Amino acid sequence: MWRTRRLGIAVLCLAVLCLATPASAGGPVQPDQHFAGRVNGVGKDAAVTVVCPGPAGGDRTGHPASGQTWSIVRRAGGTGYTGYFSQIYAWFVPMNGETPRQRVFYHYHRTKSIPQKADVPCDGSGQVEFSSCPYLAPCAAGWQPTYVDVRFVNIAD
Protein backbone atom coordinates (compact mmCIF):
# COMPACT_ATOMS: atom_id res chain seq x y z
CA MET A 1 0.00 0.00 0.00
CA TRP A 2 2.83 2.39 0.88
CA ARG A 3 4.46 1.76 -2.55
CA THR A 4 1.19 2.44 -4.34
CA ARG A 5 0.74 5.69 -2.47
CA ARG A 6 4.32 6.83 -3.29
CA LEU A 7 3.81 5.90 -6.94
CA GLY A 8 0.55 7.84 -7.01
CA ILE A 9 2.21 10.90 -5.49
CA ALA A 10 5.10 10.66 -7.98
CA VAL A 11 2.67 10.43 -10.92
CA LEU A 12 0.66 13.38 -9.59
CA CYS A 13 3.83 15.50 -9.19
CA LEU A 14 4.94 14.62 -12.70
CA ALA A 15 1.53 15.57 -14.10
CA VAL A 16 1.58 18.92 -12.29
CA LEU A 17 5.12 19.58 -13.54
CA CYS A 18 4.12 18.77 -17.13
CA LEU A 19 1.10 21.06 -16.95
CA ALA A 20 3.13 23.92 -15.47
CA THR A 21 6.08 23.61 -17.83
CA PRO A 22 4.84 25.09 -21.16
CA ALA A 23 4.42 28.64 -19.86
CA SER A 24 7.78 28.75 -18.11
CA ALA A 25 9.96 26.33 -20.07
CA GLY A 26 12.87 27.09 -22.28
CA GLY A 27 12.70 26.09 -25.89
CA PRO A 28 12.39 28.00 -29.12
CA VAL A 29 10.53 31.27 -29.46
CA GLN A 30 7.38 30.61 -31.50
CA PRO A 31 4.54 32.72 -32.93
CA ASP A 32 1.58 33.41 -30.65
CA GLN A 33 3.49 33.33 -27.32
CA HIS A 34 3.61 35.70 -24.36
CA PHE A 35 6.97 36.54 -22.85
CA ALA A 36 8.81 38.77 -20.40
CA GLY A 37 12.34 40.19 -20.42
CA ARG A 38 15.05 39.96 -17.79
CA VAL A 39 18.02 42.24 -17.17
CA ASN A 40 20.71 40.63 -15.03
CA GLY A 41 18.11 38.02 -14.08
CA VAL A 42 15.55 40.57 -12.87
CA GLY A 43 12.18 41.43 -14.41
CA LYS A 44 11.83 44.94 -12.94
CA ASP A 45 13.95 47.65 -11.38
CA ALA A 46 17.19 46.06 -12.57
CA ALA A 47 20.59 47.63 -11.90
CA VAL A 48 23.00 47.99 -14.83
CA THR A 49 26.56 48.90 -13.91
CA VAL A 50 28.19 51.45 -16.20
CA VAL A 51 31.83 52.38 -16.67
CA CYS A 52 31.96 56.19 -16.79
CA PRO A 53 35.31 57.63 -15.69
CA GLY A 54 34.97 61.04 -14.12
CA PRO A 55 31.92 62.67 -12.59
CA ALA A 56 28.52 61.36 -13.61
CA GLY A 57 25.56 63.53 -14.39
CA GLY A 58 24.18 65.71 -17.12
CA ASP A 59 24.15 64.12 -20.55
CA ARG A 60 27.28 62.02 -20.02
CA THR A 61 27.19 58.48 -21.30
CA GLY A 62 29.32 55.41 -20.79
CA HIS A 63 29.27 51.72 -21.56
CA PRO A 64 27.82 48.79 -19.62
CA ALA A 65 30.39 46.84 -17.62
CA SER A 66 31.12 43.29 -18.77
CA GLY A 67 29.44 40.25 -17.27
CA GLN A 68 25.87 41.56 -17.46
CA THR A 69 23.06 39.81 -19.28
CA TRP A 70 19.66 39.99 -20.92
CA SER A 71 17.32 37.03 -21.26
CA ILE A 72 13.71 36.22 -22.02
CA VAL A 73 11.23 33.91 -20.34
CA ARG A 74 7.98 32.53 -21.65
CA ARG A 75 5.04 33.64 -19.50
CA ALA A 76 1.38 32.77 -19.85
CA GLY A 77 0.50 36.27 -18.67
CA GLY A 78 3.54 38.16 -19.91
CA THR A 79 2.98 41.60 -21.38
CA GLY A 80 5.16 40.86 -24.41
CA TYR A 81 3.60 38.98 -27.32
CA THR A 82 5.41 37.51 -30.32
CA GLY A 83 2.52 37.84 -32.76
CA TYR A 84 3.58 36.18 -36.04
CA PHE A 85 7.29 36.14 -35.19
CA SER A 86 9.79 33.53 -33.91
CA GLN A 87 12.44 35.78 -32.38
CA ILE A 88 12.71 38.50 -29.76
CA TYR A 89 15.09 41.48 -29.88
CA ALA A 90 16.40 43.45 -26.90
CA TRP A 91 17.93 46.93 -26.71
CA PHE A 92 18.27 49.92 -24.40
CA VAL A 93 15.56 52.42 -25.34
CA PRO A 94 17.56 55.27 -26.92
CA MET A 95 17.52 58.63 -25.20
CA ASN A 96 19.28 60.72 -27.84
CA GLY A 97 17.91 59.32 -31.11
CA GLU A 98 20.89 57.03 -31.72
CA THR A 99 20.36 53.56 -33.17
CA PRO A 100 20.69 51.09 -30.31
CA ARG A 101 22.76 47.92 -30.29
CA GLN A 102 20.46 44.91 -30.26
CA ARG A 103 20.63 41.28 -29.28
CA VAL A 104 18.29 38.69 -30.80
CA PHE A 105 16.89 35.66 -28.99
CA TYR A 106 15.61 32.50 -30.62
CA HIS A 107 15.25 30.51 -27.36
CA TYR A 108 13.89 31.21 -23.90
CA HIS A 109 16.13 31.07 -20.81
CA ARG A 110 19.34 31.63 -22.75
CA THR A 111 21.28 34.66 -21.59
CA LYS A 112 23.00 37.06 -23.96
CA SER A 113 25.61 39.55 -22.88
CA ILE A 114 24.55 43.17 -22.73
CA PRO A 115 26.36 44.97 -25.59
CA GLN A 116 29.39 46.64 -24.01
CA LYS A 117 29.53 49.21 -26.80
CA ALA A 118 26.02 50.46 -26.07
CA ASP A 119 25.86 54.12 -25.04
CA VAL A 120 23.88 54.51 -21.82
CA PRO A 121 23.61 57.25 -19.20
CA CYS A 122 26.31 57.30 -16.53
CA ASP A 123 23.58 57.31 -13.91
CA GLY A 124 19.82 57.62 -13.74
CA SER A 125 17.09 55.46 -15.17
CA GLY A 126 16.11 53.95 -18.48
CA GLN A 127 14.44 50.95 -20.06
CA VAL A 128 15.29 47.85 -22.02
CA GLU A 129 12.77 47.00 -24.71
CA PHE A 130 12.09 43.36 -25.60
CA SER A 131 10.23 43.05 -28.89
CA SER A 132 9.62 40.47 -31.58
CA CYS A 133 9.98 43.31 -34.08
CA PRO A 134 13.49 44.80 -34.58
CA TYR A 135 14.16 48.44 -33.69
CA LEU A 136 12.23 50.79 -36.03
CA ALA A 137 11.33 47.97 -38.44
CA PRO A 138 7.90 47.97 -40.05
CA CYS A 139 6.20 44.88 -38.63
CA ALA A 140 2.95 43.01 -39.05
CA ALA A 141 0.16 43.70 -36.60
CA GLY A 142 -0.23 41.62 -33.49
CA TRP A 143 3.13 41.84 -31.72
CA GLN A 144 3.49 43.60 -28.37
CA PRO A 145 6.81 44.74 -26.82
CA THR A 146 7.53 44.60 -23.11
CA TYR A 147 9.93 46.70 -21.04
CA VAL A 148 12.19 46.31 -18.03
CA ASP A 149 12.94 49.47 -16.06
CA VAL A 150 16.64 49.81 -15.28
CA ARG A 151 18.79 51.96 -13.01
CA PHE A 152 22.24 52.87 -14.30
CA VAL A 153 24.98 52.74 -11.65
CA ASN A 154 28.42 54.23 -12.40
CA ILE A 155 31.14 51.97 -11.00
CA ALA A 156 34.08 54.11 -12.14
CA ASP A 157 33.51 57.04 -9.74
All structural domains of the chain with their residue ranges: 23-154
**How many whole angstroms separate alpha carbon 106 and alpha carbon 87?**
5
Mean pLDDT of 110-119: 95
pTM for this predicted structure: 0.81
With b for 16 or more beta-carbon neighbours within 10 A and e for fewer, the 21-33 pattern comes to eeeeeeeebeeeb
Higher pLDDT, residue 48 or 20: 48
1-15, 37-51, 87-101 — which one is most confidently predicted on average? 37-51
Q: pLDDT value at position 11?
A: 40
pLDDT tens, 71-87? 999 998 889 999 999 99
Q: pLDDT value at position 25?
A: 62
Higher pLDDT, residue 44 or 53: 44
Mean pLDDT of 115-119: 93
**How many whole angstroms separate alpha carbon 148 and alpha carbon 146?**
7
Higher pLDDT, residue 125 or 9: 125
Q: Are 48 and 152 in contact (CB under 8 A)?
A: yes
Total number of residues shown for the chain:
157
pLDDT level of residue 139 (50, 70, 90 thresholds): confident
Q: pLDDT value at position 20?
A: 41
Q: Are 74 and 133 in contact (CB under 8 A)?
A: no
> Right CATH number for 23-154 from 2.40.30, 2.60.120, 2.60.40, 3.40.50?
2.60.40
pLDDT of 96 > 90? The answer is no
